Structures are given as C-alpha cells and as structure tokens.
Amino acid sequence: MIYSRIAGTGSYLPARVVTNADLAKVVDTSDEWIIERTGIHQRHIVADGEGTCDMAEHAARRALAVANCSPSDIDLIILGTTTPDCIYPSTACLLQARLGNHTAAAFDVQAVCSGFIYALSIADKFIKSGSAKRVLVVGAETYSRILNWQDRNTCVLFGDGAGAVVLEASEQAGILSTHLHADGSYKDYLHVPGRVEQGKIRGGDGFTTMQGTEVFKFAVKVLSEVVDEALQANQLQAKDIDWLVPHQANIRIISATAKKLKMPMEQVIVTVPEHGNTSAASIPLALDTAVRDGRIQRGQTLLLEGIGGGFTWGAVLVRY
C-alpha cells in the first residue's frame, strides 16, 4: 500500500504589515471593533510589483529545503489560488518555470479559502494511485487585489501570503483521509462578481462581496459536520487529535468549531491575529508556523479544515 506523507513545510508573508489602526485611517472602523468581531490585529500586504507566484516561490523553496529535495525531484505541482497572476498560464506553471523544473505536471485549483484542502486532497490521490511520487502543494493569495479598500465589511478581514508542503510517497501512513464538499447554490453569500471580456471586467466590479452573518452561520455548521465526518471515517475521537489546524478566517468561527469538538484552544493553531484571512494560504501558513515553532511534532495527529467561497469546504486528517 502506498501512502502520502508531508515531507516538508514552508511559508512566506510579505514584509509590509497593515494594522487595524492603519485601516481606521481609511474606512470607518476601529481596532476594538475588528478585534472583537474577528480576532484580527494586523495583516501582511504585498509590496508594489510583488505577486502570487513571488510569494509561492518563497514558500515552495522553504518547503523543498526542509524536505531535502530539489525542484527537479517534483513530478506534480498543485497550487490553490483565487488570485492568479494572470488568466493563463496557471500560477502553478509560472511557479514551475521559476523553480527551473521543466517536466512536472502543473495546475491551479480554484476553491477560494478551501483551495489548499482541495489541492492537498488531490495530491494525496495522485500519490496513492501511483501517478506521482513527490508533489509540491501550495496555497498562495494576493487577496488584497480583490478587496475594495473603501468597503469596511470586507477589507479588514483579509491578508496576503503563501504556504507550501512537499507531499511524498511513503510506506507509512501520512494523510489518513480527505473529505471534500461544495454547494454552489450559496454563491451569493460570498463571491467576486465579474469576468474579463474584450479587455474589460464585465458583469461585476471584481471586488469581494460578502453577507458576513450568513457566511459565519454556514461556516460553523459545515465545519463541525466535516470534522465529525473525518473523525468517524477513521474511528477516532476528538481526544485522539493533537492539533486542530483550521482555516484562519475569524477567531469566533475557529473557537466555535473547537468548542463543538470539545477541544481546548491550547490545541488549536491560531494565526489569524497576525495574518488575517489569507484564503488558500491560511492553512499551510498556520501549519508551517506551528511546525517551525516546535508545537507540531512528527508522529502527531492533525486535523486540517477549511471553508471558502462557492461554498466549498473540507477536512484532511494527517499523521504528521
């Protein structure tokens, strides 16, 4: 039996930090309001000229270094993003060229904040079927591009960044199970209306539009369901999980999911105060942060979960 296991993690955040106080100079908001409703204190935003592939490359090189392999060892690149650098080629192809790899298959996955969960699940299937031996899985977002910086309902929530893992074939179980879902009938709750047509954006303004309270309620409901699904599929209980590594959208969504699991917050990786919601990058950023600071150790059991526009949602259970 072939399994897939995480051989290395990496991440990258742009140098520029935007605090809540900085945003309060631009829109009618306050540090207190943002912290109380979201838990966010600051977010990182790209410098002029810095983009999704730039951040993905930094994260990928760090993950490759930890996995002790070179770009040419990779036979598949899957990159979750909602903010590609261009319509095509995919950001995965741009990254492949940056890394100097000329043969790996490469494609993007568009599942918004669930992009990394989707990408990791696909990578696991490629490895388990014997179609790939070593996969670079990336979540990278220049989310600031699709925010209306005049809209206080959305601009305070998000940030930019990238995270990556190298997933490789192993005789030992690493990824234990993956669980993906979507329901496109909820598209109006959270979407970016618009398409490029004849060189112009048509059918919308290209900015994030959100019904926050509805997103919140739906997120808490389906995340609780999908973590239960992952536990039941493996005949595990919440007490068997060492770390919950959730999508970092909002501290209240994270706490509600942990509470349903009866999991103390000390076992939950929380980076939303410093990173904001970095969409597809948030889970691998949180994972890499906790691996590097020593909280997550080899042999531990991790439950990764996330939800994004679509809606899309899912969970991955990992023996790290």
Q: Is 246 in the site for ligand ACO (CB under 6 A)?
A: no
Instruction: Closer to ligand ACO by CB, 101 or 250: give it.
Output: 250
Question: Which lies closer to ligand ACO via its Cβ, residue 45 or residue 94?
Answer: 45
Tell me if 212 contacts ligand ACO by CB under 6 A: yes
**Which position's Cβ is nearest ligand ACO?**
212
82 near ligand ACO, judged by CB under 6 A: no
Residue 274 in tokens: 């410093």
Task: For residue 259, give every residue at least 6 positions away whose Cβ sits within 8 Å of its Cβ, in sequence order, or none.
Answer: none
Count residues near ligand ACO (CB under 6 A). Answer: 23
Residue type, 230: A
Q: Rounded to the nearest 5°, which phi and psi values hold at 134?
A: -145, 120
DSSP structure class, residue 235: T
Please select the residue that binds ligand ACO; options are 190, 231, 268, 269, rule is CB under 6 A: 190
Residue type at 147? L
Roughly what angle, to the nearest 10 degrees, separates helices 282-292 and 115-128? 80
Interacting stretch for ligand ACO, rule CB under 6 A, among 34-42, 72-80, 126-134, 288-296? 34-42
- Please identify which residue in 16, 19, 31, 37 interacts with ligand ACO, judged by CB under 6 A: 37
Torsion 85-89-93-99 (CA) sign: negative
Among this protein's residues, is 277 annotated catalytic? yes
Query: Taking the complex as a whole, how short is the minimal distance between the CB of residue 116 and ligand ACO, in angstroms?
Result: 12
- To ligand ACO, the closest distance from the beta carbon of 145 in angstroms equals 15
Peptide bond into 14 cis (omega under 30): no
From the list 13, 53, 55, 219, which residue makes contact with ligand ACO (rule: CB under 6 A)? 219
Query: Could you check whether the bond before residue 311 is cis, i.e. omega within 30 degrees of 0?
Result: yes
Q: Answer for the pair 115, 280: CB distance below 8 angstroms, yes or no.
A: yes
Residues near ligand ACO, by CB under 6 A: 29, 33-34, 37-38, 113, 152-153, 156-157, 190, 210, 212-213, 215-216, 219, 247, 249-250, 277, 307-308
